[in-house]
Amino acid sequence: MNHPFEFPLDLPARSSRQRLAALHAQLHAAILDGRLKAGLQLPATRALADTLGVSRNTVVAAYDLLLSEGYIVAQRGAGHFVADVAARRPTVSTHATADRNEHRLTPYWRNMSTMPVPMQLGAFAFDFRLGIPDSHPFPYDVWRRLSARALRMMAKGAPLYGPPQGKRALREAIASHISFARAVACGPDDIVVTNGAQQAFDLLARVLVTPGRSVLAVEDPGYQPLQDVFAAAGARIVGVAVDEEGLVVEKLPPNANIIYVTPSHQFPLGVVMSPRRRVALLQFARAHGAVIIEDDYDSEFRYSGRPLDALQTLDRGDTVCYVGTFSKCLFPALRLGYAVVPPWLRAALANAKYQADSHGNVLAQDTLAAFIAEGHLVRHVRHMRKLYAERRHALLDALARYANGTWRPWPSDAGLHLAVSLPASIDAIELAERAEKSGIRLDALNSCALDASAVNGVGFGLGLADVRNIDEGIRRLTELVDQSV
C-alpha cells in the first residue's frame, strides 16, 4: 500500500468495525517508538483517507484521539504535527507493555482499547445518519424558564439529592404522558428514571444477566449498543431474523431468557411488529420464563393510522420491561430516559441505579416534570411530527423519482428514519463509504447486523436532513450508484 509513511499500515477489511481502532493503535505505536519523530507534520486527513481507502471521518477520529491523548498537536492553518513525547516513552516496547498488562482486563474489554469518538455534526452537505433528532426547533426559552424556576425552588431548601428511582413529580408526569400517548398502564411506582435509555439497558443487564448462562435474543439487524451492554455483562447474544412483520418469533431459540425488541419501529428496518407476532412473543415469554425488553425509542412520531398497543399494554404475565427515552423527542444532551418494570423487578433496578450513580440530575428532572405537566412536550412533539413528516414525504418522493423502483423502502409509518433495500448488485457498505467521500452521510443496514448477509440496504435518518436539499442528495446518491454499475 502506497502512503506517506515509511512503515506499513495494516488495516482490517472494509466491513470490519475495527478500522478506526487499528489506525489509531498503529499511529500511536509509531509515535511512541520513534518511527514518527517529534515535529513531523502528518498528512492531511483527506489525503491520508484517500490513500488508505478509508472514510475521512475515520482518519479525523484517529487524529482526534491522538490529539486528546497529547501525542499530536494541531496548528491552525498548518495541520497536525507529532508532539514531543520522549519523556513519556516507555523503556520497553508498547506491544510488550500491552501484552503484560492486558490480562488485568476481562476478555470482553481487551478488545475495546480505544475511547469512543464524539459524534461530529455539520461536516456533510447531505446528512442522513440514523438516530439523531433535530434539536434546533426545541423551545429552549421555555426550558430555560422552567429550569430557572426549579433552581429557585432548590435554593429555598429543596433536597439536593434525589431518590434513586427518580423524582416523584417526574415519574408521575411520565406515567401520565405514556398512558395518554402509548396506552402504557403504569403508575409512578412502576417507573425508574435513568440517564437515557442506554443506562436503563445497562441496569437491566446488571440485574438480569448471569454471566455465562444468560442468553439474549436480539433482532438481526438490530441495535448494536444494547448488544454491547449485555455482552459486557456476560450474556450470550443470539440474532433472530426480522421480516415485514417484525421479529420472527418462530425462530427464537428455546433457551432465550431475555428478548430485546423494538416492536413500534424496528431498528433499523422501521417495520412495526404485527399483532399476531406480539401475541406470539408474549406467549413465548410466559412459556419459557423469559423477560422481554421493549425499546420504544421514537414511536411518538407517527404519520398515519393508530399505533398498535405496546407489548407492555398487552402483557398479563409481568414479563415486559418497557424502556423509553426523551433524547429523540427533545434533545440528546438531556440524557433522561426511564424503564417501566414489573413489581418483581422494581427494587432490584432501583438498587442497581443507586449503586451506579446514586441518583440522576435533580434539576433536569424537576424541569422535565414541569415541561411535561404544562403541556410543552405534547406541543413540541406535535410540531416535530409535522416537520419530520415533510422530510419523510420529500425523501420518499425523491427515491421514487431517481431510484427507478430498484430501491425498495421497508414499510414504515413512524419514527425518525426510513430503511431502503438495495439490489444484490449494489454493496451497501461500499456505497456508504463512496457516498461519504462525496459529502453524503448515511448508514449501511448490514453494519447493524450480526449476520452481515442478512440484509443489504441503507438507512435514511430524518433528523439532520434539510427538506430543501433532500431531493438533491438522493439525486447525487443515485448518480454514484449508476457510476458503479
Look at residue 320 in the predicted model and tell me its pLDDT: 97
Distance between CA atoms of residues 297 and 479, nearest Å = 33
Determine the 3-state secondary structure of 66 from DSSP.
helix
End-to-end CA distance of the chain: 26
Grid cell in block for residue 313: 399494554
Look at residue 1 in the predicted model and tell me its pLDDT: 43
| CATH entry 3.40.640.10 includes domain 159-374 | yes
What are the backbone dihedrals phi and psi of residue 164, each rounded to the nearest 5 degrees, phi first? Answer: -55, -35
The domain segmentation of the chain, as residue ranges, is: 19-110, 126-135+379-484, 159-374
Look at residue 101 in the predicted model and tell me its pLDDT: 59
Look at residue 411 in the predicted model and tell me its pLDDT: 92
Distances in Å between the alpha carbon of 407 and those of 253, 400, 420, 453, 472?
A: 32, 9, 6, 17, 17
Q: What is the pTM of this model?
A: 0.80
The CATH architecture of the domain made up of 126-135+379-484 is: Alpha-Beta Complex (3.90)
Distance between CA atoms of residues 428 and 335, nearest Å = 32
| Low-confidence residues of the chain: pLDDT under 70 | 1-3, 15-16, 86-102, 112-120, 158, 484-485
The CATH architecture of the domain made up of 19-110 is: Orthogonal Bundle (1.10)
Find where cell 486528546 sits.
68
Q: β-strands 126-127, 79-82: how paired?
A: unpaired
Nearest 5°: the CA angle 316, 319, 324 is: 105
